[in-house]
Amino acid sequence: MPMLVFPEGTCVNNKYVVMFQKGVFELDVEICPVSIKFDRTLQDPYWNRRRLGFTLQLLYLMSRWYLEADVHWLPPLKRKEIENATNFAERTRRIIAKASNLKVSLWNGYLKSSPAFKDRDLLKVAFLKTYTKLKRFSEEIIYDTDIDRTTYNNYTVFNLCKYKDFLILVLEEYYIYKSLSILEQEHLISQLAIKNTVEIGKKRKCLCVKYKKNRRRRKKFIFTSCKLDAFKKF
C-alpha cells in the first residue's frame, strides 16, 4: 500500500522548501516525489498559526470559491548505496524545489512548534562550533550590550560575515550533524552538556535582560539567557 508523507512536517508559505525529516527516507523503498505549489493570486491557503487559529483558517478555506495549485508528478527515486537517509532526503528535496521553482532553506520546520529537544541541542552544538571557527580568525569579543537587536541583518560577526550569513553557516553545520549516526549525535550533545555544566559552575553573569528574568525565576540554564554572550569564551 502506498503511503502519503509530508516530509517537511510543518506548513510552508509556497516560497521555500525547508529541511525534510529523514524518517521515511530510511526505509528501503522507492520515493515518488510530488510537488504541490498553490497559486496565491486570489487566495492564500497557507496557515499562519500566529495570525489565525484552526477554526478561522478552516472557515477561510471553506469560504473560498476554489483553490488552484500546480501539481508536478516526478519520477520515482531510490536511495543510492553511497547515500544515507539525510542525503537522500536532501536530494529529493532539491528535485522538488527545482520542479516548483522554490527556494531551498536549511531551516528545520520542527523547531518552530515541536519541542524537538535533540534537534535543538544539535543546533546549539552547531552554533558553538561555527562561532568557535570564526573566533579563531579574530580577537574581537562580542557582548550583548554591543549588539542592536533591531539591526541583526546589518551586524557583522567578527568583521568576517553578516549575521544572516553566520546563521546560514550554523544551519550548514547543523545539517552535517543531522547526517551523523545516533551515537555520534549523542556524543556531541554530551559534550555540550559538559560545557554547560562548567559554565554554570563558574557562575558567569550575562548582561542581557533575559538573564535577569531567568535569575528571578531561578532558572540556571544559561543557553536560554542570551544569543551570543553565553558563547563568547568557547
Mutual orientation of helices 182-202 and 117-135 as an angle, nearest 10°? 70
If you average pLDDT over residues 84-111, what whole number do you get?
Answer: 85
Query: Hunting for cell 477554526 — which residue is that?
Result: 55
Question: Long-range contact list for 194-199, CB < 8 A, 24+ apart?
Answer: 195/128, 195/234, 196/221, 196/222, 196/223, 199/230, 199/233
pLDDT tens column, 156-201: 666 677 777 777 788 888 888 887 888 888 888 887 766 655 454 4
pLDDT tens column, 2-49: 778 888 877 777 888 888 888 888 888 888 999 888 887 777 777 777
CA dihedral of 130, 134, 136, 137, whole degrees rounded to 10: 160
C-alpha cell at 230: 553565553
If you average pLDDT over residues 91-114, what whole number do you get?
Answer: 83
The pTM assigned to this predicted structure is 0.62
Query: Which residue type does 125 have?
Result: V
Q: State in Å, rounded, how far the first CA of the chain is from the last one.
A: 51
Q: What is the DSSP string of the chain?
A: ------TT-S---SSEE-PPPSTGGGSSS-B--EEEEE--SS------TTT--HHHHHHHHHTSS---EEEEEPPPB---TT--HHHHHHHHHHHHHHHHT-EE----THHHHS--HHHHHHHHHHHHHHHHHHHTT------GGG--GGGGGG-EETTTEEHHHHHHHHHHHHHHHHTS-HHHHHHHHHHHHHHHHHHHHHT----SHHHHHHHHTT---GGGT-SSGGGTT-
Q: What is the mean pLDDT of the chain?
A: 74
Distance of alpha carbon 5 from alpha carbon 31, whole angstroms? 10
Asked whether residue 218 carries a pLDDT value surpassing 50, the answer given is no
Supply angle C-alpha 22, 25, 30, rounded to 5.
Answer: 160
Q: What is the DSSP string of 94-120?
A: HHHHHHHT-EE----THHHHS--HHHH
Distance of alpha carbon 11 from alpha carbon 217, whole angstroms? 34
CB 140 within 8 A of CB 132: no
Query: Hunting for cell 488552484 — which residue is that?
Result: 68
- pLDDT at site 198: 47
How sure is the predictor about 75, in pLDDT bands with cuts at 50, 70 and 90? Answer: very high
pLDDT tens column, 47-70: 777 788 888 888 888 888 888 888
Domain ranges of the chain: 16-104, 115-231
How sure is the predictor about 227, in pLDDT bands with cuts at 50, 70 and 90? Answer: very low
If you average pLDDT over residues 211-225, what whole number do you get?
Answer: 46
Asked whether residue 230 carries a pLDDT value surpassing 50, the answer given is no
Distance of alpha carbon 179 from alpha carbon 166, whole angstroms? 21
